[in-house]
């Protein structure tokens, strides 16, 4: 089998070139973003295979070789390999010569696979998403919601719906629909907890007409309370510093008449698990406290997973992501939300207070994952 790579800015143009040069029997083997050193040739590297002997250079005269035993017969193995490649080909890309039948794979699937991988979606999850789109489209055809020959836009809508089905969004504060709402923000150092808390105090406290109080359990860390104390003074919000996390239950009883209580906490690094134990025990035992785990969306996938697992003792009910303006790859955010089965609450898209905070949106996140190269896709969607 001959293997050849085609570089192009779109998968479709690479497919067209391959069919012109290799013929209609060319099989799609893989689609991936071009490596940095090859990016000048095109955004994507599309690899095709075609039956036949590999291309070779012109023969060079050589002395006669001694007779060698006949090579083993690999025809059975080649047949199996060809069958596997054809299966992959049918699952990802439909040749343009085939009729567009209900449920048939569509060329837009190859673009979707490349987009998911470019967004740093886990490859296994990306394959699961593509595999689930086929039955989803067939169901829409049977229900009469789309025609028997779905176009690219309909396939993209099915892809977006599949992505959205894999994570949840609960953009709410508090555990009770009425009465006192108590919200705690926890997370690693530098995640943006304090700035996010101030944004929440303005948007969901002052602007919503709720009486709001801030509790600060960072008082034992030198200088850590000053920014939040200053914000509270400027905004004329109630503020109280706590010497110990064990004081929280008693303090919350005192403010039962408030509408909203926001709790700021220290940022705990990997080596501070012991210091975090007391606060984790208090928050996990107080069912009235709605704990949000605050995480930077710009974190690498492996670091994000380790951080979420490290904060498991806090039993956070929701995930809140910051720094979305620092990355266009929301795949890790999506994959981790799906893995731990915790809903997203809010996202922060910058440092402006309170403007750069919004409720998490399934539609915006799915669109950003499926169009990773669209600059500021999340805020523009």
Tell which phi-psi region holds residue 60, choosing left (phi > 0), alpha (psi between -120 and 50) or beta: beta
Q: Mark whether 27 and 124 lie in a shared domain.
A: no
Structural domain including 157 reads 99-166
Q: What is the pLDDT of residue 92?
A: 44
82 within domain boundaries = yes
Other Cβ atoms within 10 Å of 7 Cβ, number: 17
Q: What is the pLDDT of residue 375?
A: 47
Q: Tens of pLDDT along 27-79?
A: 777 777 777 777 777 877 888 777 765 554 444 444 555 555 555 555 555 55
126 within domain boundaries = yes
Q: Mark whether 150 and 186 lie in a shared domain.
A: no
Could you say which of 136, 166, 196 is where a domain stops? 166
Q: What is the pLDDT of residue 71?
A: 52
Q: What is the pLDDT of residue 68?
A: 53
62 within domain boundaries = no
Q: Mark whether 83 and 142 lie in a shared domain.
A: no
Q: Mark whether 205 and 338 lie in a shared domain.
A: yes
Other Cβ atoms within 10 Å of 258 Cβ, number: 17
Q: What is the pLDDT of residue 378?
A: 53
Q: Mark whether 369 and 242 lie in a shared domain.
A: yes
Q: Is 343 exposed, middle or buried (0-12, 13-18, 19+ CB in 10 A)?
A: middle
pTM, full prediction: 0.70
287 within domain boundaries = yes
309 within domain boundaries = yes
Q: Mark whether 5 and 108 lie in a shared domain.
A: no
Q: What is the pLDDT of residue 286?
A: 84
63 within domain boundaries = no
| pLDDT per residue rounded down to tens, the chain (381 residues) | 677 888 888 777 777 788 788 877 777 777 777 777 777 778 778 887 777 655 544 444 445 555 555 555 555 555 554 554 454 444 444 433 333 344 445 667 888 888 899 899 999 999 899 888 877 777 777 766 666 566 667 778 888 999 999 999 999 998 766 678 999 999 999 999 999 999 999 999 999 999 999 999 875 655 567 788 888 888 888 999 988 888 888 998 888 888 999 999 999 988 887 778 889 998 888 888 999 999 999 998 899 999 999 999 999 999 999 999 998 889 999 999 999 999 999 999 888 888 889 999 999 999 999 886 544 445 444
Q: Mark whether 128 and 215 lie in a shared domain.
A: no
Q: Mark whether 239 and 359 lie in a shared domain.
A: yes
325 within domain boundaries = yes
Domain at 321, CATH number: 3.40.50.300
Domains contained in the chain, number: 3
User: In terms of Cα–Cα distance, which of 346, 268, 339 is closest to 307?
Assistant: 268
Q: Mark whether 190 and 134 lie in a shared domain.
A: no
176 within domain boundaries = no
């Amino acid at each position: 089998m001959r293997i050849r790579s085609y570089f192009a800015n779109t998968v479709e143009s690479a497919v067209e070139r391959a069919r012109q040069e290799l013929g209609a029997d060319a099989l799609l083997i893989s689609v991936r973003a071009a490596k940095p050193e090859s990016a000048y040739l095109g955004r994507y590297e599309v690899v095709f295979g075609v039956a036949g002997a590999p291309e070779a250079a012109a023969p060079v005269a050589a002395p006669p070789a001694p007779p060698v035993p006949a090579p083993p017969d690999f025809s059975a193995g080649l047949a199996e390999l060809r069958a596997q490649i054809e299966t992959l080909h049918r699952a990802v890309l439909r040749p343009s010569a085939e009729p567009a039948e209900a449920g048939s794979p569509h060329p837009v699937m190859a673009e979707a696979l490349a987009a998911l991988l470019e967004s740093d979606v886990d490859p296994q999850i990306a394959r699961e998403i593509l595999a689930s789109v086929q039955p989803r489209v067939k169901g829409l055809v049977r229900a009469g919601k789309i025609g028997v020959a779905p176009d690219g836009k309909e396939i993209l809508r099915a892809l977006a719906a599949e992505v959205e089905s894999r994570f949840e969004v609960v953009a709410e504060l508090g555990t009770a629909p009425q009465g006192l709402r108590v919200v705690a923000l926890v997370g690693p150092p530098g995640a943006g907890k304090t700035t996010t808390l101030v944004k929440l105090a303005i948007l969901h406290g002052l602007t919503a007409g709720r009486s709001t109080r801030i509790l600060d359990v960072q008082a034992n860390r030198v200088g850590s309370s000053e920014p939040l104390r200053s914000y509270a003074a400027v905004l004329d919000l109630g503020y109280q510093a706590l010497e110990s996390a064990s004081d929280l239950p008693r303090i919350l009883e005192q403010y039962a008449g408030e509408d909203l209580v926001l709790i700021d906490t220290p940022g705990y690094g990997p080596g501070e698990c012991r210091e975090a134990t007391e606060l984790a025990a208090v928050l996990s035992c107080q069912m009235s406290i709605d704990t949000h785990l605050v995480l930077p969306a710009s974190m690498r996938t492996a670091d994000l997973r380790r951080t979420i697992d490290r904060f498991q003792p806090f039993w956070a009910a929701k995930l809140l992501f910051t720094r979305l303006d620092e990355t266009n790859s929301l795949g890790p955010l999506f994959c981790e939300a799906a893995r731990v089965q915790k809903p997203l609450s809010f996202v922060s898209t910058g440092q402006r207070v309170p403007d750069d905070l919004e409720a998490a949106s399934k539609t915006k996140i799915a669109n950003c994952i499926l169009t990773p190269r669209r600059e500021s896709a999340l805020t523009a969607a």
